[in-house]
């Protein structure tokens, strides 16, 4: 049954990503000061998140964890950032 949990987590992540993309596009399309800030934030966050994901994955591998475990640990900062963006954009 582990695959059901994995599938549900993947589906939730996918929905969160789609929601963030949609809300960001609406905010950018609306124009104004908020659109420029959102574009800058969007690009900067990608660098921070990729760095965190690469570090988490590399450290896991250095500690002797499996590739699957390293991948899961590398996804933690990505999921966290997407979830935080979804919640922030809902409030805006």
For 12-33, the pLDDT digits (tens) are 999 999 999 999 999 999 998 8
The overall average pLDDT reported for the chain is: 94
DSSP conformational letter for 92: -
Distance, first Cα to last Cα, the chain: 38
State the pLDDT at residue 45.
95
Residue 5 pLDDT greater than 90, yes or no: no
* Two tokens, residue 47: 């660098």
Residue 1 pLDDT greater than 90, yes or no: no
The pTM (predicted TM-score) of the whole model is: 0.86
């Amino acid at each position: 049954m582990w695959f059901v949990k994995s599938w549900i987590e993947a589906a939730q992540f996918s929905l969160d990503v789609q929601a963030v993309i949609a809300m960001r596009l609406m905010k950018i399309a609306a124009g104004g000061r908020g659109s420029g800030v959102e574009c800058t934030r969007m690009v900067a966050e990608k660098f921070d998140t990729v760095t965190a994901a690469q570090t988490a994955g590399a450290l896991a591998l250095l500690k002797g964890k499996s590739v699957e475990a390293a991948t899961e640990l590398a996804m933690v900062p990505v999921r966290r950032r997407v979830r935080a963006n979804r919640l922030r954009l809902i409030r805006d």
